[in-house]
Structures are given as structure tokens and as C-alpha cells.
């Protein structure tokens, strides 16, 4: 079968790879669509794994079901790429994405392939049947939206919270829509690209700024934010985000900086305002179900976010679009 293999240093090639088969309790899924994530573009993160088939936002059709699996051939499904055990100390503490099983489980070979094998642990915990009205390309947003939902839960977001979103790319726009669905507001956003600022306003941000976060205070009722979601790895943006948090606020980092890249922090200001800084990584089964529910109900505008749909044969162009910033969200359709 054909797959997009990442060979490191930004090099991709569509080539033949061995086709997997479903064992007991497993599934073989024909990938119909797979979104590109920002982490797929981070060379410092992916080069150590090369050669590797990337892609962890797949939706597709079951074409082989191993004995004992709970899905029938022909079922349309979302497939999560990792699942926790739900019983270890970390899972019991609500940190299921840090579970050793979560880090160990994976689909084979990756979502940027014509077909993937889904291990039994994932089949049991986090393969979800898709409703007929939700297209495959839209279902690719389940995983990134689940990450947003988990992050907002960890941040303690509640109805009426004042929210600031720094970076209105695909993840930031999902943050805005999920916050609206959760009853938060007012919501403000910081984004340098004019077209993304316009879209942020259309999807629920009361006000947007190109860079200076101080201009957003009026939009938040004259006060600073209770919850700040930082959807960029830009160091200056991260430092600026801290100025948006009000007393007792939470600043959540949604994207990592490269190793060894320092971020300047005014620790005195953070201390006396009792601002909490936290990070969030990936999502668990409860979050994917909540994401599917929002997408199926139309609470998240998938069509507004997915700007490009590209065939697998043109995956190099898909990555070019994503890296250049010309695209908002790219979906590859094998």
C-alpha cells in the first residue's frame, strides 16, 4: 500500500510500505481523511523518529475486523492514535495522557497511509462510530478538538469565564468555539494574520488584536482574562500572554517551544497575581466523545477551519501549505 514516509529534515516521500492485517480484536481501517497537526511540522520533534509515517487525526472505514472486535466491516469510524489504561495512578488522577500505555499504544503505520491497523486496546477504548451526516474530512477534527476540550477542563473553564486566546490558527479557533459552547465569555483573541482575526470574530471572539494584548482589556469588560489559552510556540507571544491573565488566572500552554529555547518570565508579577501556568498534552477517551458530540451537533464549524483537502499523492504540497501559513487546516485524503 502507499504511505507518506517522513525521512527527516523536512523530507517526505510517498512510497510502498507493507500492508498491515487485523489480528484478534483489531481493525484494519481504510483511511479516508487525516488532518495535519502542527506537531507533524516540528522537525526537532519528528526527526528523532524518522523514518516514520506521520498522521494521528484519521477517519475512515473498517475493511477488516479481527475476531472479537465490536465493529463491522463497512463501519465509518474515528480512530484515536493512543489510549490510556484508565486504571494506573496517573489515569486515576485524571492525567490519562501521561499513562505509560498511552505513550506505548499507536496505530500502524500512521494516518498518512492508505490503511492502518488499530490495536485491540484502541479498538476497545477509543474507536468511535461516525454519524452519517458528519463527513470524513470534518471527523478529522475530533482529535484536535478533543485536545482543546481536555485543556479547557484542566484549566477549570466554567460558564462566564473571561477568555483570551493567543494565536488564532486552527487550534486557537477551536479554542474559541469550544469556549463558546461551554458558556464562557467574553472571549478575545490575539492573532497577527488579518484573515484569521476576521474568522476569530465570526466564530465567537468579541474582539481581536494583531499583537498588543493590552488592547483587549476593554473587550473583557475592562478586566483581564480568567483563562488564557496560548496556541503558538512563539516565545514573544507566550510572554505577552502572561500579561493577559488577571489575578488568580490560568495561562495554559498548548504548543511547545523547541528544546533549549528560553521564554522570558516576570516571576514577580506571576507570584503576586497568583497566576498559574500549565501545559496540556493530547486527549483521552472522554474528550474524544465530547468532541464528536460538538461536531455532530454543529457547535463547531468544521468547514470554516479546513481550508485545503489534498490527495495523498500530493502530500508534499500539503506540508508546504501548512508550513507556509497559506493554509489554516490541511486534510490529506488517501
pLDDT tens digit at each of 334 positions of the chain = 999 999 999 999 999 999 999 999 999 999 999 999 999 999 888 989 999 999 999 999 999 999 988 899 999 999 999 999 999 999 999 999 999 999 999 999 999 999 999 999 999 999 999 999 999 999 999 999 999 999 999 999 999 999 999 999 999 999 999 999 999 989 999 999 999 999 999 999 988 887 666 667 767 777 889 999 999 998 888 888 888 999 999 999 999 988 888 888 888 989 999 999 999 999 999 999 999 999 999 999 999 999 999 999 999 999 999 999 899 999 999 9
The angle, 0 to 180 degrees and rounded to 10, between the axes of the packed helices 170-181 and 194-202 is: 20
CA-closest candidate to residue 97, choices 46, 169, 52, 153: 153
Q: How far apart are CA 126 and CA 301, in angstroms?
A: 23
What's the pLDDT score for residue 65? 96
Q: How far apart are CA 124 and CA 69, in angstroms?
A: 8
CA-closest candidate to residue 140, choices 305, 323, 270, 272: 305
Q: Phi-psi region for residue 303, left (φ > 0), alpha (ψ -120 to 50) or beta?
A: alpha
CA-closest candidate to residue 295, choices 130, 185, 85, 169: 130
To the question of pTM greater than 0.85 for the whole model, the response is yes
What's the pLDDT score for residue 239? 86
Whether 216 and 153 have beta carbons less than 8 Å apart is answered as no
Q: Phi-psi region for residue 121, left (φ > 0), alpha (ψ -120 to 50) or beta?
A: alpha
SS3 180: helix
CATH topology of domain 2-146+283-333: Quinone Oxidoreductase; Chain A, domain 1 (3.90.180)
Whether 37 and 95 have beta carbons less than 8 Å apart is answered as no
Backbone angles phi, psi at 222, to 5 degrees: 80, 5
Distances (CA, A) of 151 to 14, 131, 227, 237, 315: 34, 25, 11, 19, 30
Q: Phi-psi region for residue 58, left (φ > 0), alpha (ψ -120 to 50) or beta?
A: beta
What's the pLDDT score for residue 178? 98
What's the pLDDT score for residue 114? 98
Whether 72 and 280 have beta carbons less than 8 Å apart is answered as no
The residues spanned by each domain of the chain are 2-146+283-333, 156-279
What's the pLDDT score for residue 212? 64
CATH topology of domain 156-279: Rossmann fold (3.40.50)
Amino acid at each position: 500500500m502507499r504511505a507518506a514516509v517522513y525521512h527527516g529534515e523536512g523530507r517526505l516521500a510517498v512510497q510502498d510500505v507493507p500492508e498491515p492485517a487485523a489480528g484478534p480484536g483489531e481493525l484494519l481501517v481504510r483511511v479516508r481523511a487525516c488532518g495535519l497537526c502542527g506537531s507533524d511540522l516540528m522537525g526537532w520533534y519528528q526527526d528523532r523518529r524518522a523514518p516514520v509515517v506521520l498522521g494521528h487525526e484519521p477517519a475512515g472505514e473498517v475493511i477488516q475486523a479481527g475476531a472479537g472486535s465490536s465493529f463491522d466491516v463497512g463501519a465509518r469510524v474515528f480512530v484515536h492514535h493512543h489510549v490510556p489504561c484508565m486504571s494506573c495512578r496517573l489515569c486515576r488522577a485524571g492525567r490519562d495522557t501521561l499513562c505509560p500505555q498511552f505513550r506505548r499504544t499507536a496505530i500502524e503505520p500512521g494516518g498518512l497511509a492508505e490503511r492502518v491497523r488499530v490495536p485491540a486496546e484502541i479498538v476497545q477504548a477509543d474507536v468511535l462510530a461516525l454519524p452519517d451526516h458528519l463527513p470524513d474530512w470534518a471527523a478529522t477534527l475530533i482529535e484536535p478538538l478533543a485536545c482543546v476540550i481536555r485543556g479547557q477542563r484542566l484549566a477549570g473553564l466554567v460558564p462566564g469565564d473571561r477568555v483570551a486566546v493567543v494565536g488564532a490558527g486552527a487550534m486557537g479557533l477551536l479554542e474559541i468555539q469550544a469556549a463558546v459552547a461551554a458558556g464562557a465569555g467574553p472571549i478575545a483573541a490575539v492573532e497577527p494574520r488579518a484573515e484569521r482575526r476576521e474568522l476569530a470574530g465570526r466564530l465567537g471572539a468579541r474582539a481581536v488584536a494583531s499583537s498588543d494584548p493590552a488592547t483587549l482589556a476593554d473587550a473583557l469588560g475592562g478586566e483581564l482574562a480568567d483563562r488564557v489559552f496560548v496556541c503558538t510556540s512563539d516565545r514573544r507571544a507566550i510572554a505577552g500572554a502572561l500579561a493577559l491573565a488577571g489575578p488568580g488566572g490560568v495561562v495554559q500552554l498548548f504548543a511547545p517551544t523547541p528544546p533549549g529555547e528560553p521564554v522570558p518570565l516576570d516571576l514577580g508579577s506571576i507570584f503576586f497575581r497568583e497566576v498559574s501556568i500549565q501545559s496540556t498534552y493530547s486527549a483521552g477517551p472522554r474528550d474524544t466523545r465530547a468532541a464528536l458530540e460538538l461536531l455532530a451537533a454543529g457547535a463547531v464549524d468544521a468547514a470554516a477551519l479546513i481550508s485545503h483537502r489534498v490527495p495523498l499523492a500530493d502530500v508534499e504540497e500539503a506540508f508546504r501549505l501548512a508550513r507556509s501559513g497559506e493554509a489554516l487546516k490541511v486534510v490529506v485524503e488517501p
